[in-house]
Structure 1
Amino acid sequence: MSAPAALRALTGARQGRDRDLARNGLPVEPDRSQPLPRRLLRSRLAWLTLVMAIAYAVCLVLLYRQVVPDQEVPGGVSVGLGRDAVPIAARYAAITAIPLSLLFLWADRFRPQRFWVWIMTFGWGACVATYVAAGVNTWAASHLSIIGDGDPATGARAAIFVAPFVEEAAKGTVLFWLAILMRNAWVSRLSGIVLAGLSGAAFAFVENILYYGRAYRYAARTIGAVPPEQALQQTFVLRGLLTFFGHPLFTSMIGIGLAVALRSKSKTVRVVAPLAGFCCAALLHMSFNTAASLLSTRQQLFVLIFVAVPLVLGLVGFIVRTLFKEGRLIRTRLGDYVRVGWLEPDDPQPLSRLRTRTRALWHALFAGPATFLATVRLQRAVTELAYLRDSMDRGLVDAAGQRRERVLLEQLRALRSQAVITPVGHPTYPWQRLRRGAGRRAAVAAYPPPAFPGPAGLGGSFPAPGAPSGAPGPLGQTATRYSEVDPSWKPPGE
């Protein structure tokens, strides 16, 4: 076979393996022999990220032009938020959005998603979902509201019967796209909760800006009303403190349904579970809007304490339980590789405990960038390996999983010597290294120069016995002393 024919055969075989991996939803290792710019230009995810970033920017600009400036409508002028209210409202909205998003990212610890996935999910909820929901809700309110002016806040029927389905569909669309593009990363229900929570927190962030800005602008334009800042703070207490959990809680139902579908082999479950998750999210959202629109303040407080708070605590308990469950699953699946000799017997325990993994990353952080990067890559590879083994055991992945399995095992073998697996003691912080280095320099300077032989032996750092401090020992042949002998001595009988 000629060289070109052999090259074509090799390329065809590699493309076939890549198609098998893609069919099973498994990642394909990039060709690291090519430069990074060429790999980015050939990456579909890189181009998709660029297109989506442009779409997010366009939706955000359109939403800004729709709600911030005053709009002329038939019969008058629709008052917008105003440019002066948006920065103030954004600061109050960030008080809730930032800690809530960080909390969801912290929960995604066993198999954290790529950074671009977090950004794309948050951007979708903040830009696309809010723009679509605002347009559809306004249109529905104009048709359903009897005394309202088209504003969703004035149409209770639109808030109860339209907004839950529209907003949950807008927030959950990105979850369906991610489930299609990277279903291998949805390894547990926790993955669905984290991504859904990020989309919901981003949606609530922009929606709170609209509500806070509307309260601020209304108080500023109304004679005899409370000061604008006070009106904004009252709205912040209601939406940012008492009911901040609403959107993330509702959308989490969709994430759980998708995660159940992706980890099941039954076609019925794969269809019913996402639909059930969406219906559950819309039902919870509808109940929340009904209570906010039709109940009195005392009744709303009763619903908040005895209905909403238990639901939130139940979701938190479910997340904690899932963390421990995933740890046991990783430990069990890594034990399969220990039994065949591909992993060390002591590997499953530290690599399946969140506390030990966190400590290992902390130790590696102060051991140098190379060690930290190797530790991160090893933990990601070993987690993917465990979940891949679980997928193969469930029958979700065919023989292509064995090729991905070999790649992960080779990565573990290459990273083991440099990564931190089982941290021991405390890490050496930079200031401790500087202090120890100064102490060693001072201690060495206090000793006299090395003297032979000295109590420390050859090359010791202590003076020889009987020699004055700092005096060098004998050098050359004078360092060897022989006992006195008779020069005329010879063996007897000679």
Structure 2
Amino acid sequence: MIPQSGPGFPGLPGQPADGVAPLQVPPAPRAGSGTVLNVLLITAASVVVVLVGFFLFAALGSEAFILCGFLALIPLGICLLGLHWIDRWEPEPRAALLFAFLWGAGVSVAITLLLGSMVNEVLMTLLPLTPADVIATVVQAPLVEEAAKGLGVLLLVFVRRSHFDGPLDGIVYAGTVGAGFAFTENILYFSAALFETGGVSLQLGFVFVLRGLFSPFAHVLFTAALGAALGLAVRKPGGVRILIGFIAGLAAAVLGHMFWNGGMALVYDDFFLFYFLLQVPLFALALTGVAYLRRAEQRLTRERLDEYAAAGWFTAAEVDMLATRSGRRQALRWAGGFGGRPTMRTFIREATNLALTRQQLVSGRDPRANAAREDRILDALTRTRTRLLQTAGAPQRS
């Protein structure tokens, strides 16, 4: 008998060893088409990045481009390390993260450069009494930049649907887009400071400290608001939910960006007062939210794997190992003793993907595709467990 977990809960495939045949599902769409699409998207985004790079190289000159590009790598590294920390429980596909970065560093910058001045003219017509610098900085830049970045996150919702599971995934994808955009934008800001004084000076150092060390996560935070909203929207099926999530998230990102750019007026243009009274608490609030979402994802993993354990796919000890950080660390240490650490990492990743796929099935999202994906993951997980146990039992070379 296939176990149930409540009214309308999809039946779990039974363990073949228990004499229960796995759930039969229609064959999934061929994976090749998705791979081709991913390659095309990454290639197109890479071409745009190269074009933007050539544009900056021609506009700034080789020395300024190389120096400012090197400086921009430092805040980029800080952002990517932070996003990696967020993404440790269920790492997103590297190809999707690469596309997110390329979109942010190239496509969103190109959209901003092409549309920014036109939108600025329209806003100046609509707001004739507003100072031009306020329109450009506080209104136009947040609108155009967040829309340009947000389109990349929205595209990922549709092309990487099976890996866009919730708000934490949305934060990681959107944050990577924001990190890419900030990287290119920092090159422009650093070069402006360089040219303003005619060379390396305290001005360049001051801009680097403010943008690169004090607030490297600014664009990450703005776009992450949109990613979180889309992540909440995709938990249940429905295109209208995605549209509402995109609009709500874009509004939050734009408002946050507007507040960031214009907030110093609230504290009489005192950057450090603005930073410690407003920016630091905002960053702390964001960290608290991320920590909460990470714990929620861990709890969800345990709940779903417990259901597979009840159906015979895992032992209780395996669930403890796979659904807790301490259990994973202990498992990796054990596997490292016989050279099985990479296989254990695969086992952990497959189990986590299985739990999140099950959650999508429970939510009624893409039932045919997710049922087929569940079946494939169970087959792969069984093979990985067998390989892991064979490696553990093999005699070790001295």
Matched, 1:278 2:254: no
Higher relative contact order (CA 8 A, sep 6+): 2
CA shift, 1:266, in A, is: 6.4
Matched, 1:326 2:304: no
Matched, 1:258 2:258: no
Matched, 1:406 2:385: no
Q: How does 1:88-99 map to 2 (within 5 A)?
A: 88-99=67-78
Name the CA distance, whole Å, in 1 between partners of 2:337 and 2:57.
48
Q: Where does residue 472 of structure 1 map in the other structure?
A: none
Name the CA distance, whole Å, in 2 between partners of 1:56 and 1:347.
41
Name the CA distance, whole Å, in 2 between partners of 1:412 and 1:144.
55
Q: Is the 1:133–1:166 contact (alpha carbons within 8 Å) kept by the matching residues of 2?
A: yes
2:40 to 32, 43, 51: 51
How many residues align? The count is 363
CA shift, 1:171, in A, is: 0.9
TM-score normalised according to structure 1 size: 0.67
Q: Where does residue 314 of structure 1 map in the other structure?
A: 285
Q: Where does residue 129 of structure 1 map in the other structure?
A: 108
Name the CA distance, whole Å, in 1 between partners of 2:49 and 2:310.
54
Name the CA distance, whole Å, in 2 between partners of 1:241 and 1:273.
31
Q: Is the 1:144–1:155 contact (alpha carbons within 8 Å) kept by the matching residues of 2?
A: no
Q: Is the 1:189–1:259 contact (alpha carbons within 8 Å) kept by the matching residues of 2?
A: yes
Q: Secondary structure in 2 aligned to 1:84?
A: helix
Name the CA distance, whole Å, in 2 between partners of 1:56 and 1:117.
12
Name the CA distance, whole Å, in 2 between partners of 1:327 and 1:125.
29
Q: Is the 2:167–2:228 contact (alpha carbons within 8 Å) kept by the matching residues of 1?
A: yes
Q: Where does residue 13 of structure 1 map in the other structure?
A: none
> Which piece of structure 1 moves more, 252-261 or 263-272?
263-272
Q: Secondary structure in 2 aligned to 1:297?
A: coil
Q: Where does residue 232 of structure 1 map in the other structure?
A: 204
CA shift, 1:380, in A, is: 2.0
Report the CA distance shift for 1:213/1:386 in structure 2 as closer, same or farther (over 3 A). same
Report the CA distance shift for 1:144/1:385 in structure 2 as closer, same or farther (over 3 A). closer
Name the CA distance, whole Å, in 1 between partners of 2:50 and 2:370.
44
CA shift, 1:306, in A, is: 2.1
CA shift, 1:190, in A, is: 0.8
Q: Where does residue 62 of structure 1 map in the other structure?
A: 51
* Partner deviation per Cα, 1:221-272 (whole Å, 9 max, x = no partner): xxxxxx5332211111121122222100000011011111100246654432
Q: Where does residue 372 of structure 1 map in the other structure?
A: 341
Report the CA distance shift for 1:360/1:177 in structure 2 as closer, same or farther (over 3 A). same
Identity of aligned residues (%): 29
Report the CA distance shift for 1:68/1:240 in structure 2 as closer, same or farther (over 3 A). same
- Which structure's CA Rg is the greater one? 1
Name the CA distance, whole Å, in 1 between partners of 2:235 and 2:119.
37
CA shift, 1:176, in A, is: 0.9
Q: Secondary structure in 1 aligned to 2:91?
A: coil
Q: Secondary structure in 1 aligned to 2:258?
A: helix
Matched, 1:116 2:95: yes
Q: Where does residue 387 of structure 2 map in the other structure?
A: 418
* Partner deviation per Cα, 1:342-376 (whole Å, 9 max, x = no partner): 221212111011233244345545633xx334223
CA shift, 1:327, in A, is: 1.1
* Partner deviation per Cα, 1:287-344 (whole Å, 9 max, x = no partner): 112235786432x333322222111111111111111111111111111122222221
Q: Give the residue type in structure 1 aligned to 2:219.
A: H
2:157 to 169, 173, 179: 179
Q: Where does residue 10 of structure 2 map in the other structure?
A: none
Q: Is the 2:42–2:98 contact (alpha carbons within 8 Å) kept by the matching residues of 1?
A: no
CA shift, 1:418, in A, is: 3.1
Report the CA distance shift for 1:288/1:318 in structure 2 as closer, same or farther (over 3 A). same
Report the CA distance shift for 1:117/1:361 in structure 2 as closer, same or farther (over 3 A). farther
Name the CA distance, whole Å, in 2 between partners of 1:112 and 1:83.
37
Name the CA distance, whole Å, in 1 between partners of 2:337 and 2:110.
44
Report the CA distance shift for 1:336/1:144 in structure 2 as closer, same or farther (over 3 A). closer
CA shift, 1:419, in A, is: 2.9
Q: Where does residue 488 of structure 1 map in the other structure?
A: none
Name the CA distance, whole Å, in 2 between partners of 1:139 and 1:68.
24
Q: Is the 2:350–2:377 contact (alpha carbons within 8 Å) kept by the matching residues of 1?
A: yes
2:308 to 326, 337, 347: 337
TM-score normalised according to structure 2 size: 0.82
Name the CA distance, whole Å, in 2 between partners of 1:65 and 1:408.
43
Matched, 1:17 2:6: no
Matched, 1:207 2:185: yes
Report the CA distance shift for 1:259/1:204 in structure 2 as closer, same or farther (over 3 A). same
Long gaps (5+) in structure 1: 1-15, 23-27, 31-42, 70-79, 147-153, 221-226, 424-432, 438-494
Name the CA distance, whole Å, in 2 between partners of 1:365 and 1:169.
46
Q: Give the residue type in structure 2 aligned to 1:162.
A: Q
Which has the larger helix fraction? 2
Report the CA distance shift for 1:397/1:45 in structure 2 as closer, same or farther (over 3 A). closer
Q: How does 1:266-305 map to 2 (within 5 A)?
A: 269-291=241-263, 296-298=268-270, 300-305=271-276
Q: Is the 2:45–2:99 contact (alpha carbons within 8 Å) kept by the matching residues of 1?
A: no
Q: Is the 1:216–1:231 contact (alpha carbons within 8 Å) kept by the matching residues of 2?
A: yes
Q: Is the 1:168–1:281 contact (alpha carbons within 8 Å) kept by the matching residues of 2?
A: yes
Report the CA distance shift for 1:230/1:142 in structure 2 as closer, same or farther (over 3 A). farther
